[in-house]
Amino acid sequence: SNYWSNVPMGPPDAILGVAEAFRKDTSPKKVNLGVGAYRDDNNKPYVLPSVRQAEENIFKKCLNHEYAPIGGDPVYCDLIAKLGLGENSLAIKEKRNATVQSISGTGALRLGFEFIGKHYNHAREIWMPSPTWGNHPQICNTLGITHKKYRYYDPNTLKFNLKGCCEDICSMPPGAIILLHACAHNPTGIDPKPEEWQILSEIIKEKRLLPFFDMAYQGFATGSVDNDAFAVRLFEKHGHQIILAQSFAKNMGLYGERVGGLTFVCADQDTAAKMMSQLKIMIRTLYSNPSINGSRIVTEILSSPELKAQWLKDVKEMADRIILMRKKLREGIEKRGSKHKWDHITSQIGMFCYTGLKPEQVLRMTKEFHIYLTKDGRISVAGICSSNVEHVAEAMHKVTA
């Protein structure tokens, strides 16, 4: 008999499904702009020089493969909390942060949301920007946590909708959780300006909401890890008890290592210690303890001034190449005589460009030009390089002509 005959076929993942279709395409012209992974100018996966050097250093140390502590290596946790919250973070100085290693950014979100589901005694609903990364609502659905949308992107102006966002924040119940993309908003590539973050921080405080920052792209937006942590650090300075999910997938190119972190900034040291104890209990039953290779690489880089300097250069180089490709793509479309405005390609930041292409235009991009992207018209600019930018520009011009 078939014990699993009740199990229906599930739909493919919206983003990873695009990668699958790309793999099956045999055209030499094919371009994958679906998945958010950095490629160098030869369209090849990129291992950062700082990461290579860290790997060599670690190899020479002949380390063992014992288990990590449940929350991860405390040295790693201190380093990444400082990278996110900043060297001058009051919370870190006062030991009010509970920080654990997570299974990359997704694992940090999952652990953070699950913690909210189990221990949060206030308005247990998570408000997310519209649009947001598809996995945010999915994780909530899996956990049975209520999620709602607040206005973020204005499709008419192609800009951040500050007014709509503030109105929606004012309608949230006190204590609700507001999910914020710390930088390089996915999928729109549109972030609030510093003065807009200031306003958001003030009204979020006034409404007594709990800000949960998802920081998957620190360094990728502007090329500077400090600039990109502006909002996180501003909120902490304003006294918010923020939650912070970090990932080293993109900014260290450690995608498959699955290394990240989850931090709760707490009211006091005593609360942080209690939170830490409960995080450990939760992790113990999920995966017992985290993997050690990725966190060793991150630790090696962040604890050595020379390697850290090299890494900051590496991040800047990746961000700059993306910025250059945005410029070339926009020029490529404009020089073909497009009637549309394309300034959003260069004004948006981070890995993604929200092109404004309609689903039928996206379909034509794939069918006629072998260019793969998600249905919402989002492209990963990291997948564009000198040898394919003209092909992508030509396609975008033709399908919108």
Binding site for ligand PLP (CB under 6 A): 36, 104-106, 133, 181, 186, 214, 216, 247, 249, 260
Q: Which is nearer to ligand PLP, 160 or 342 (CB)?
A: 160
* Least distance in angstroms from the C-beta of 274 to ligand PLP: 27
Q: Which is nearer to ligand PLP, 79 or 249 (CB)?
A: 249
* Least distance in angstroms from the C-beta of 360 to ligand PLP: 26
Question: Catalytic residue among 191, 228, 250, 314, which?
Answer: 250
Cis omega before residue 187 (within 30°)? yes
Residue 250 designated active-site: yes
Give the C-alpha separation, 149 to 168, whole Å.
Answer: 9
* Least distance in angstroms from the C-beta of 246 to ligand PLP: 8
Tokens at residue 92, please?
């870190």
CA atoms within a 13 Å half-sphere pointing along the CA-CB vector of 184: 27
Q: How far are the Cα atoms of 15, 144, 271, 363, 378 from residue 178, in angstroms, in the given order?
A: 24, 17, 21, 34, 24
Is residue 154 within 8 Å of 354, Cβ to Cβ? no
Q: Where are the alpha helices (DSSP H) in 67-193?
A: 74-85, 90-93, 104-119, 135-143, 162-170
Give the C-alpha separation, 115 to 177, whole Å.
Answer: 12
Q: Which is nearer to ligand PLP, 48 or 216 (CB)?
A: 216
Q: Which is nearer to ligand PLP, 168 or 214 (CB)?
A: 214
Residue 133 designated active-site: yes
Q: Which residues contact 143 (CB under 8 A, 6 or more apart)?
A: 110, 113, 114, 117
Residue 280 designated active-site: no
* Least distance in angstroms from the C-beta of 184 to ligand PLP: 8
* Least distance in angstroms from the C-beta of 107 to ligand PLP: 7
Tokens at residue 134, please?
């598809």
CA triplet 292, 295, 297: central angle to 5 degrees?
A: 110
Q: Which is nearer to ligand PLP, 183 or 333 (CB)?
A: 183
Strands (E) across 144-209 are located at 146-151, 153-154, 159-160, 177-181
Instruction: Select from 145, 13, 124, 40 the least CA-distant residue to 383.
Output: 40
* Least distance in angstroms from the C-beta of 394 to ligand PLP: 28
Q: Which is nearer to ligand PLP, 104 or 355 (CB)?
A: 104
What is the number of the residue whose Cβ is closest to ligand PLP? 105
At residue 353, the 3 state secondary structure works out as: strand
State the amino acid at position 161 in one-letter form.
Answer: N
* Least distance in angstroms from the C-beta of 327 to ligand PLP: 23
Other CB atoms within 10 A of residue 297 CB: 26
Question: Catalytic residue among 214, 228, 311, 314, which?
Answer: 214
Q: Which is nearer to ligand PLP, 89 or 102 (CB)?
A: 102
Question: Catalytic residue among 30, 127, 133, 342, which?
Answer: 133
At residue 331, the 3 state secondary structure works out as: helix
- φ, ψ (nearest 5 deg) of residue 90: -65, -40
Is residue 333 within 8 Å of 325, Cβ to Cβ? no
Residues identified as active-site: 133, 214, 250
